[in-house]
Structure 1
Amino acid sequence: MSSPEAMTEAAMTEALDLPGSGRFEGAEHWLPLRVYYEDTDAAGIVYHANYLRFAERARSEFLRLAGIDQRPLYEDAGLAFAVRRASLDYRCPARLDDRLEVRSRLVRLGAASVDLEQRIVRGRQTLVTIMVKVACVALSSGRPSRLPAAVRDALEPFAQQETGES
């Protein structure tokens, strides 16, 4: 066991970076995270489905930092975001105690959906690339619903390209 006094400055700085809401680097959102025991299998390798959990956290923090509060959207407007499609390209495994970043970039802003590219990286190495389409849906019907103007306005600065219907 190490004492607080024995903690190096680098370790303290690293500890202060996690968890949090991440940050924007230009139009790309970066969310740092650490791989915990609960994220891994018996061999200490991240279980494949957990990359989706990491990406979900990053999308939530992206919205939060972009100024979109999901709770009133859900409670007051009766709207929620639901994953319509996701494809994952696994390149290299993450392991117990790895320090990772989920880098999320808005690729397309549609009328009722958002397409994102999310890369999970360790240092300069991309471990997993996730392409995801998230739809805005009405909770009452489960049907697609246009993005509210405030949501669209908050996301437009991050959009790579603007298109019409989704």
Structure 2
Amino acid sequence: MFSIPTRVYWEDTDAGGVVYHAQYVAFLERARTEWLRAGGHGQELLRQDHDLVFAVRAMRLDFLRPARLDDLLQVTAGLQQCKRASVVFAQSILRNGEILLSAEVKVAALSASVFKPKPLPDALYESFKQQELPAQP
């Protein structure tokens, strides 16, 4: 499972110093972006070289515990399922090993120029298929 560290700053919180619920979505997005980059598939390169962008199609978020100002978090991203024109990520946000949020995020592969569904290039599809996480019982 890929992960990145992120710190909770004042701008991430509500008036009570607790991370605002929508900010978790931004943390998850950053982890997916860095997961792509770590695999050599930066989003700008995909757009330029393959006319390909990803758009969130669906999300399931399970808020388990709050993150707070100054917390150091680990945000994970793993490829749960890859189809020809969509990818499902399993993600979580942790503090000191404790899961604060779990998420399932489905992204659609789209043509950058016309914003309609587009199959993943064969090499990218094969690369993604090899990275699928084992199925959870």
Q: Give TM-score, length-normalised by structure 2.
A: 0.92
Letter aligned with residue 100 of structure 1: L
Give 1 or 2 for the bigger CA radius of gyration: 1
Over residues 66-87 of structure 1, what are the superposed CA-to-partner deviations in whole Å (9 max), with x where a residue is unaligned?
A: 1112212212322101100011
- Identity, % of aligned positions: 44
- Bigger drift between 41-50 and 65-74 goes to 65-74
User: For 2:24, what is the secondary structure of its paired residue?
Assistant: helix
Gaps of 5+ in 2: none
Matched, 1:39 2:12: yes
User: For 1:80, what is the secondary structure of its paired residue?
Assistant: strand
Distance 2:45 2:131 in 1: 22
Q: Of residues 106, 114, 119 in structure 2, which corresponds to 1:141?
A: 114
Q: Which residue of 2 aligns with 1:6?
A: none
Matched, 1:71 2:44: yes
Distance 2:38 2:114 in 1: 29
Superposition RMSD in Å? 1.5
Letter aligned with residue 147 of structure 1: L
Q: Greater relative contact order (Cα 8 A, min sep 6): structure 1 or 2?
A: 2
User: For 1:41, what is the secondary structure of its paired residue?
Assistant: coil
Distance 1:69 1:41 in 2: 32
Q: Which residue of 2 aligns with 1:155?
A: 128
**How far is 1:150 from its partner?**
2.9
User: For 2:50, what is the secondary structure of its paired residue?
Assistant: coil
Q: How does 1:53-68 map to 2 (within 5 A)?
A: 53-68=26-41
User: For 1:85, what is the secondary structure of its paired residue?
Assistant: strand
Over residues 123-159 of structure 1, what are the superposed CA-to-partner deviations in whole Å (9 max), with x where a residue is unaligned?
A: 1211111110011101232211101123223323311
Q: Which residue of 1 aligns with 2:21?
A: 48
Deviating beyond 6 angstroms after TM superposition, the runs of 4 or more aligned structure 1 residues are none
Q: Of residues 86, 106, 109 in structure 1, which corresponds to 2:79?
A: 106
Matched, 1:92 2:65: yes
Over residues 100-143 of structure 1, what are the superposed CA-to-partner deviations in whole Å (9 max), with x where a residue is unaligned?
A: 00111211011111101101011121111111001110123221
Q: Is the 8 A contact 1:67 1:154 kept in 2?
A: no
Q: Give TM-score, length-normalised by structure 1.
A: 0.76
Q: Is the 8 A contact 1:68 1:154 kept in 2?
A: no
